Amino acid sequence: MAGLLLRVKTKMSLFAHRKTLDLLEGGYASVHRARSHDFDDLREYVPGDEVKDIDWKATARHGEPLVKRYVAARRHHLVLLMDTGRNMAATAESGEPKKDIAIMASGALASIATGHGDVVSLIVGDEGGSRSYPPGQKDEHLERLLRAVDERITLESPRSDVVGLLEHVARRLTTRSMLLVVTDDVRLADEHFALLKRLRVRHEVLWLTIGDADLMHPARGGREVYDVQEIAALPAYVRSNRSLQVLFAQEASVTVESTERELRQLGVTSHRIASQSDVVPGLFALLEKHRRAGR
């Protein structure tokens, strides 16, 4: 069986031009401001780099903007917070399994983080409880983390419990970190707000939503459709009702817009992706939003 990390890296190359990957790596580097003054080497400028880091003499000789890279003053800690409820085993907006998109997104950012010398850990959670995996840097470590997510998310998994996951992190994680929360379309409640406020005091919080499939879409025809969270079928006669289709679409749109607005008000940067092909540009958009919010 091919390694999940290898699959992630292969799909990253398939779904992105080299320039886009460079932008994503530059975007990741630019959200970490702490560094030493020890010069390392030069590399090509990418949007998101600080103008003050441009080496103007080297730029003039080379003919293209070059920036100075420095030895990191300390390693950063990326923590993947993965919703492993059975809803994540369902279908995404693109028709792909949400789990596959979640694994690719978290694996892509984790791979970039370790490439920059940072460490990555994992915390998974659902109604069955939360579990933490220690930080590491090697590819073998990232493979273990991705496999843990893959094995935990099934249609037989407990229901989702994002509040429980955030509560576990708020209690246990004391080291200042960058948190990437990966879940599907969630309607935020007071419990979410309170926990996210606590987490924002110490950590940088990024929120990545894997878009839900439109269960009412006419293209689904007479096929059986199930809500895996409630383990219940959605009858064809309900899905064929035009008025209900419109109401369902409106409600879904309100949920998406309100979630992004409420997270922004809390100081949490968020982005929503619908497919594996959205992962690289989506992660770049997420990091760029976060960088701009920190100005």
Taking only the tens of pLDDT, the chain with its 295 residues reads 458 988 898 888 777 776 777 878 888 877 875 455 555 567 777 766 677 778 888 888 888 888 776 555 457 899 999 999 999 999 898 889 999 999 999 999 999 999 888 999 999 999 999 999 999 999 999 999 999 999 999 999 999 999 999 999 999 998 899 999 999 998 899 999 999 999 999 999 999 999 987 655 555 555 555 556 655 555 665 656 677 666 766 676 777 888 899 999 999 999 999 999 999 999 999 999 998 876 5
Residue 289 has what DSSP assignment? H
Chain centroid offset of residue 11 CA: 16
pTM given for the model: 0.78
> Cα angle at 208 between 139 and 213, to 5 degrees?
110
Q: 262 in a domain, yes or no? A: yes
Residue 204 main-chain phi, psi, to 5 deg: -85, 130
Using the 3D structure, point to which of 23, 51, 71 is the last residue of a domain: 71
Q: Which residue has the tokens 């950012």?
A: 109
Sheet arrangement for strand 77-83:
129-136, 119-126, 77-83, 178-184, 204-210, 269-273
Using the 3D structure, point to which of 49, 71, 93 is the last residue of a domain: 71
Model pLDDT, residue 167 = 97
Beta carbons within 8 Å of 233's beta carbon, 6+ residues apart: 224, 225, 226, 227
To 10 degrees, what angle do helices 98-115 and 279-293 make?
A: 60
Q: 1 in a domain, yes or no? A: no
Task: State whether 149 and 40 are in the same domain.
Answer: no
Task: State whether 255 and 110 are in the same domain.
Answer: yes
Task: State whether 47 and 108 are in the same domain.
Answer: no
Count the Cβ atoms, other than its own, within 10 Å of residue 128. Answer: 15
The tally of domains found in the chain comes to 2
Task: State whether 104 and 55 are in the same domain.
Answer: no
Task: State whether 67 and 172 are in the same domain.
Answer: no
Task: State whether 63 and 171 are in the same domain.
Answer: no
Task: State whether 132 and 218 are in the same domain.
Answer: yes
Report the distance separating Cα 50 and Cα 29, nearest Å.
Answer: 10
Model pLDDT, residue 258 = 87
* CATH, residue 220: 3.40.50.410
Chain centroid offset of residue 52 CA: 29
Model pLDDT, residue 236 = 62
Q: 263 in a domain, yes or no? A: yes
Structural contact between residues 204 and 195, judged by C-beta atoms closer than 8 angstroms? no
Report the distance separating Cα 243 and Cα 262, nearest Å.
Answer: 28
Count the Cβ atoms, other than its own, within 10 Å of residue 57. Answer: 9
Q: 20 in a domain, yes or no? A: no
Q: CA–CA distance from 260 to each of 170, 213, 270 (Å)? A: 21, 18, 6
Chain centroid offset of residue 120 CA: 13
Task: State whether 149 and 202 are in the same domain.
Answer: yes
Task: State whether 67 and 146 are in the same domain.
Answer: no
Task: State whether 90 and 158 are in the same domain.
Answer: yes
Give the length of the chain.
295
The whole domain housing 49 covers: 35-71
Classify 136 as helix, strand or coil. Answer: strand
Q: 5 in a domain, yes or no? A: no
Chain centroid offset of residue 207 CA: 6
Q: 17 in a domain, yes or no? A: no
Q: 11 in a domain, yes or no? A: no
Report the distance separating Cα 242 and Cα 249, nearest Å.
Answer: 11
Structure tokens at 191: 């419990």
Model pLDDT, residue 1 = 43
Report the distance separating Cα 142 and Cα 72, nearest Å.
Answer: 21
Task: State whether 165 and 273 are in the same domain.
Answer: yes
Model pLDDT, residue 45 = 77
Q: Which amino acid is residue 275, in one-letter code?
A: S
Q: 2 in a domain, yes or no? A: no
Classify 271 as helix, strand or coil. Answer: strand
Residue 228 has what DSSP assignment? T
Task: State whether 66 and 81 are in the same domain.
Answer: no
